[in-house]
Amino acid sequence: ILALAVALGLLPALAPPASAAAPITTAVYTADPAALVAGDTLYLYTGHDEAPAGGTGFVMRDWHVFSSTDATTFTGHGAKLSVSSFPWAGADAWAGEVERGPDGRYYWYVSVNGNGPGWMNIGVAVGDSPLGPFTDAKGGPLISDDTPGSAPLNIDPTVFVDDDGQVYMYWGSYWGLRAARLRPDMVTLDGPVITPQGVSNFWEAPWMFKRDGVYYLAYAANDSGCSPPNHACVRYATASSPLGPWTHRGVVLDPVSSTTNHPAIIEFKGQWYMVYHNAAAPGGGDFRRSVTLDKLYWNPDGTMRKVVQTTG
């Protein structure tokens, strides 16, 4: 009866038992996770924090890949993409995401400093398998300050291929969230850049996905509703159309021990997960972060329950 009442939405579900979440690795500091399921494997694509202890800024030169078949034990595959993979770039290997294209290849979208007059760009690399090898897919930025309508800071791409094959990309920061359609080639804009509406308190780190016909956009927010101050939480919004308008639905992940927060939400072997980073690894900090994950549960009405952050 209790289970039926919960299923009908008449009673709130009891909090699920906590499971131990440890950093996916302590061999390197990792940040800005993106998740991809291919076959029976969960792949995590991460940034790599190399700031010294006590450092006061990001030192990030490459991106790493990890894989797991149980979402508990992860194998590190090392750096599979670096700033030097993009001949036109020079620094700042910030957040990225990998998406499988209609051609079956794997496209890795990243934030990277072009070393030109502007600052950050969206670059894209491609490989024939989730582990690469990955090479620059375009020979220049997909999005730069020169792109009409682009964001004031072009970082944190999230790419989503809808059931009808249409590709969408969201990106941006506190100064402006942007979205655009991509062509099936995955590396060319398909129409104008737009400014999505209804995404409250957006800070950075968008992650787009779809569940039961509903579009979800999770993102880092840094407002007074996230406590402690200046530590981002993860909010999310839903929409019935991939470009919005969006309706804010609440906080799904409270602030973590690092000032930044960065979500990747994915279903793997029937269980949903929130993948994120914090400063919890030994010697960790705001610029020495580590990726971890916890289970994520849904309410019957399609809203997400707040993730219980575990340690282990």
CB closer to ligand FUB, 101 vs 263: 263
CB closer to ligand FUB, 181 vs 289: 289
Q: x-or-dash pattern for ligand FUB, window 213-252, by CB under 6 A?
A: ----------------------------------------
Q: Which of 24, 81, 155, 217 binds ligand FUB (CB under 6 A)?
A: 155
Report whether the peptide linkage leading into residue 133 is cis, meaning its omega lies within 30 degrees of zero: yes
For the chain, the C-alpha Rg in angstroms (whole number) is 18
How many CB atoms lie under 10 A from the CB of residue 48?
20
Residue 236 near residue 217, CB atoms below 8 Å? yes
DSSP string, 8-72: TTSSPPPPPPP-----S-SSSEEEEEEEEEETTEEEEEEEEE-PPTT--S----EEEEEEESSSS
Catalytic residue (choose from 99, 204, 286, 294): 204
Q: x-or-dash pattern for ligand FUB, window 279-308, by CB under 6 A?
A: ------------------------------
Token pair 């760009």 is at which residue? 121
Q: x-or-dash pattern for ligand FUB, window 103-132, by CB under 6 A?
A: --------x---------------------
CB closer to ligand FUB, 20 vs 223: 223
Q: How far apart are CA 41 and CA 264, in angstroms?
A: 16
Q: Which of 43, 94, 215, 219 binds ligand FUB (CB under 6 A)?
A: 94
Residues 17-76 that bind ligand FUB (CB under 6 A): 31-32, 47, 58
Q: Which of 113, 150, 260, 292 binds ligand FUB (CB under 6 A)?
A: 260
Q: Which of 178, 262, 288, 295 binds ligand FUB (CB under 6 A)?
A: 262
Instruction: Return the structure tokens found at 60.
Output: 């990030």
Q: In what order do the strands lie in the sheet containing 233-239? A: 202-211, 214-221, 233-239, 247-253
Examine residue 255 and tell whether it contacts ligand FUB (CB under 6 A).
no
| Residue 177 bridge partners (DSSP) | 172
By the 10 Å C-beta count (0-12 exposed, 13-18 middle, 19+ buried), 300 is classed as: exposed
CB closer to ligand FUB, 32 vs 294: 32
Catalytic residue (choose from 32, 97, 156, 286): 32
Q: Which amino acid is at 139?
A: G
Query: Has 32 been annotated as catalytic?
Result: yes
What amino acid positions are annotated as catalytic residues? 32, 204
User: Which positions lie near ligand FUB, rule CB under 6 A?
Assistant: 31-32, 47, 58, 94-95, 111, 155-156, 204-205, 260, 262
